[in-house]
Chains A and B, each alone.
Chain A
Amino acid sequence: MKDDAVKGKPVTEKKGITRREVVKTAGVAGVAAATGVGLFGGTPPAFAQKRTIHYLMDSYFISGAKDVHLAINEEYKKQTGVEVKMEFINQNDLNTRLTAAVEAGAGPDMTVLKWNMPHLFAGGLANHDALLADIDASGYYGFMHDATMVDGVYRALPAYMTPNAWVYRTDIFKELGISPFPETMEDYLSAGKMLKENGTPVGFTLGHTLGDAPANCYTWLWAFGGREVDENQKVMIDSAETRAALEFFREFWNDACDPGGLSYDDGSNNRAMLAGRIAVTCNAASIYYFATRNPDKVPEGLGDNLHHAPLPAGPNGSYGTNQPLSEGIFEHSKQKDVCMEYLKFFRTGDNFEKWFVAMGGQAVGPSPVWEDHPFWETQPALGSIPKMGGYGRSFGYSGPYDRKASEVQAKYIIIDLLALVARGDSADDTIKWAETELKQIYEG
Chain B
Amino acid sequence: MNRMVGETYWQRVIFFYIPLFMFLVMLLFPFYWMIQASIKPDRELYNAAMSPFYFRSATFDHFRYLFENTQFLLWMVNTFVIALASTALSVTCGVLAGYSLSRLRYPGSTMLGVSIFVTYLVPPTLLFIPLSRLVNEAGLMDTRWSLVLTYPTILIPFSTWLLMGYFRTIPKELEECARIDGATRWQAFIKVILPLATPGILSAGLFSFTLSWNEFLYALVFISSPENKTVTVGVVSELMIADIYYWGSLMAGALLGSIPIAIIYSFFVEYYVAGLTGGAVKG
Using a CB–CB cutoff of 8 Å, the interface residues on chain A facing chain B are 54, 56, 58-61, 85, 87-93, 96-97, 99-100, 103-108, 211-212, 266-267, 269-271, 274-277, 283-284, 286, 290, 294, 296-299
Contact = CB atoms under 8 A, between A and B. Distances in A.
Contact of B243 (A107, A108, A212): A212
A275 B47 CA distance: 6
Output the residue of B43, B220, B243, B244 with the most chain A CB within 10 A. B243
Contact of A90 (B42, B224, B237): B237
Contacts of A97: 220-221, 224
Given A54-B224, A59-B238, A100 B132 contact: yes
B244 A298 contact: no
Interface residues of B, number: 30
B221 A270 contact: no
A393 B136 CA distance: 39
Given A59-B238, A104-B135, 13 more contacts: A58-B242, A60-B242, A61-B243, A88-B226, A90-B237, A93-B237, A99-B129, A104-B129, A107-B141, A107-B142, A266-B242, A275-B46, A286-B242
Interface in B36-68: 42-43, 46-48
Contacts of A91: 242
Contacts of A274: 46
Interface of B: 42-43, 46-48, 128-130, 132-133, 135-136, 141-142, 217, 220-222, 224-226, 236-238, 240-245
A298 to B, nearest CB: 7
Contact of B132 (A61, A103, A270, A277): A103
Given A87-B225, A274-B46, A59 B242 contact: yes
Contacts of B128: 100
B252 to A, nearest CB: 16
Contact of B236 (A90, A211, A297): A90
B94 to A, nearest CB: 28
Nearest to A99: B129
Q: Which of B136, B142, B226 has the most CB of A within 10 A?
A: B136
Contacts of B129: 99-100, 103-104
A298 B242 contact: no
Contacts of A89: 220, 237
16 contacts: A56-B224, A59-B238, A61-B242, A87-B224, A87-B225, A90-B240, A90-B241, A96-B217, A97-B221, A100-B132, A106-B136, A211-B243, A276-B48, A286-B242, A286-B244, A297-B46
Contact of B244 (A92, A211, A270, A277): A270
B133 A103 contact: yes
Contacts of A267: 243-245
Contacts of A290: 244
Given A100-B129, A103-B129, A275-B48, A59 B135 contact: no
A89 B123 CA distance: 24
A211 B242 CA distance: 10
B42 to A, nearest CB: 4
A182 B31 CA distance: 45
B46 to A, nearest CB: 6
B225 A85 contact: yes
What DSSP secondary structure best describes chain B's contact surface?
Answer: helix
A95 to B, nearest CB: 11
B133 A104 contact: yes
A105 to B, nearest CB: 7
Contact of B48 (A108, A266, A277): A277
A88 B224 CA distance: 9
B224 A60 contact: no
Nearest to B128: A100
Contacts of B236: 90, 93
Contact of A88 (B42, B46, B220, B238): B238
B141 A104 contact: yes
A296 B43 contact: yes
Contacts of B130: 103
Contacts of A100: 128-129, 132, 221-222
Contacts of B241: 59-61, 90
Contacts of B244: 61, 267, 270, 286, 290
Contact of A96 (B48, B133, B220, B224): B220
B203 to A, nearest CB: 32
A286 B242 CA distance: 9
Nearest to B45: A297
Given A87-B226, A286-B244, A96 B46 contact: no
B132 A104 contact: yes
Contacts of A96: 217, 220-221
A117 B22 CA distance: 49
A85 B228 CA distance: 13
Nearest to B222: A100
Contacts of A92: 240
A96 B244 CA distance: 21
A52 B24 CA distance: 51
A387 B225 CA distance: 38
Contact of B43 (A56, A61, A87, A297): A297
Given A275-B48, A297-B46, A59 B133 contact: no
B37 to A, nearest CB: 13
A104 to B, nearest CB: 4
A28 to B, nearest CB: 32
A174 to B, nearest CB: 22
Contacts of A269: 243
